[in-house]
Amino acid sequence: MTKQLTSNNALELDQQDPLARFREEFYLNKNSIYLDGNSLGLLSKRAEKSLLDLLDSWKTLGIDGWTDGDNPWFYLSETVGDKMAPLVGAAPEEVIVTGSTTTNLHQLVSTFYKPVEGRTKILADELNFPSDIYALQSQITLRGLDYHDHLIEVKSKDGHTLNEDDIIEAMTEDIALILLPSILYRSGQILDMKRLTKEAHKRNILIGFDLCHSIGSIPHKLSEWDVDFAFWCNYKHLNGGPGSVGALYVNKKHFGTMPGLAGWFSSHKEKQFDMEHTLTPADDAGAFQIGTPHVLSVAPILGSLEIFEEAGIGQIREKSLKMTRFMKDVMIQELDGHGFVFRNPDEDERRGGHLYIEHPEAARICKALKDKGVIPDFRSPNGIRLAPVALYNSYMDVWTSVQILKEIMDNELYKKYENKRGVVA
C-alpha cells in the first residue's frame, strides 16, 4: 500500500468492475453487508427460477418427470455434473452431482483406500475440516485398523498454514492414500495441487482433494494435474442453497473401478431398471452415486451454474483477489493498533477467496458486526473470516464494512457482548 485509500477508490473500482452487473442477480438485504459467502452463498434469482421450474415439473408431470420435461430427473445428476465440470477442469463424464460432502468422501475412500501389507496408512493434515478427519478415522476402523496408528496428520509449523515440502516428506512407502484440502478452511491457504499430485504419483500413492472452499472461487485443472479424485459441497461459493447436494470427481483412468459403497444409482443407466441383483456399474463418475437424486436440492445449482458460465471463473478469481487485497489494505490502514493479526498467505497464488484474521475478542467483535449489519463468520477460538464474493459483493461493501469495524473497535462497542460463540458459529 503506497497511498491513502478512501471511499473514492472503492467507487472507482466498482465503476471498472466487469462483474458488477451480476450483483443484481442476487437477493441482497439492503440493510446489511453479507461477507459470509464462504460458508453459505446467497440466493440468486436464477437459482430460485430453476428450483421453481423443477418443482413445477413434479406438479405437472408427476412420475413422468423422471424422463420428461426440460431436465428429466433420471439424468439430472449427470446433466448438472456436465455443466459443473469446467469449474474443476474435468471432462463432463468425470463429475457427478450427488450426495453430501462427507457421504462422497466415504464413497471415495471406501473405493480407493486398499490397505495391503506394508502400505496401510492414510495421509491427511492437522488443519483439515473435522468432518473429513472423522470420515477417515471411521474408514480405517472399518478395516480393523487403529486410526491412531494408521492416520498420519501432517503438522503445521505456525498453526495456520501447511508447507508442501512437509507433506511430500510424509509421503512414505507405508502410505496407501492421501487426502488434503485444496484450500485450508481457516487461513484460506491454497495448496499446490499440481505439485502434490505429481509427488504422490511418483511414489505410487493415490491422492484426492476436498474442494469445498475452492469450487467456484478459484480455477482448477484436475484432469490435467491427474488428480485421482475430489469432492465438494455446492452451498458456499456456488450458491446452491443450504444443504445443497454435493459433487465428486473421479479421474477417467479409474473408470471401471467398482464403487466401495454400491447402490441402485451406481448402475449403468441402460441396466438400472433390469432390476438384477448383480450390479452393472456406470462406466463414468455416475458409478459413484449411491441413492436417488435429491431433485429439489439439485435444482438451484442449475440456475447458479448459468451465472458462472457467463461470468467465467477467470474473471471471478481476478476480482476475488483484488477484493481481498483491497480489504486487507484498508484494514491495515484503518485498524492499526487494534490488535488484529492476518493469517492468510499474502501471495495471490496461495490465497483463496476469504480473509482470516484473529483477535482475542473475536466472538464479541462478530456479534457487534452483525448488530451493525455486517455478516462475518466466527471460528473458535479467536478467528474471523471475511469473504467478499466476486459475484455479489462490491468494493464499497468492503470499504463500508471496514469503517463499521473501525467504529466498533474505536468505541469498544464489542464489550457489551459475551465473548462466546453461538450454537452455530
The binding site for pyridoxal 5'-phosphate consists of: 101-102, 129-132, 210, 213, 235, 264, 292
DSSP summary character for residue 355: E
Give the three cell numbers for residue 53.
Answer: 421450474
Strands 175-181 and 121-125, by their bridges, are parallel
Give the three cell numbers for residue 181.
Answer: 484440502
Kind plus residue range of the DSSP H or E element containing 97: strand 95-97
- Range 259-262 contact pairs with CB under 8 angstroms and sequence separation of 24 or more: 259/107, 259/110, 259/111, 259/287, 259/288, 259/290, 260/107, 260/108, 260/109, 260/110, 260/111, 260/112, 261/106, 261/107, 261/110, 261/111, 261/290, 262/290
- Strand ranges inside 222-337, DSSP E: 229-232, 247-250
Q: Are 21 and 215 in contact (CB under 8 A)?
A: no
Give the three cell numbers for residue 279.
Answer: 450390479
Burial class (CB in 10 A: 0-12, 13-18, 19+), 201: middle
Question: CA separation (Å) from 138 to 60, 131, 145?
Answer: 43, 11, 10
CA quadruple 226, 95, 105, 71: dihedral, nearest 10: 180
Question: Binding site: residue ranges?
Answer: 101-102, 129-132, 210, 213, 235, 264, 292
Q: Are 79 and 71 in contact (CB under 8 A)?
A: yes
**Residue 20 to residue 25: CA distance in whole angstroms:** 10
Burial class (CB in 10 A: 0-12, 13-18, 19+), 16: exposed
- Strand ranges inside 169-214, DSSP E: 175-181, 206-210
Residue with cell 472423522: 134
What sign does the CA torsion over 305, 306, 309, 313 have?
A: negative
Give the three cell numbers for residue 148.
Answer: 491412531
Please enumerate in sequence order all residues whose Cβ is within 8 A of that of 323, keeping only pairs 6 or more positions apart, or say none. 388, 390, 393, 395, 398
Please enumerate in sequence order all residues whose Cβ is within 8 A of that of 171, keeping only pairs 6 or more positions apart, or say none. 123, 178, 199, 200, 203, 205
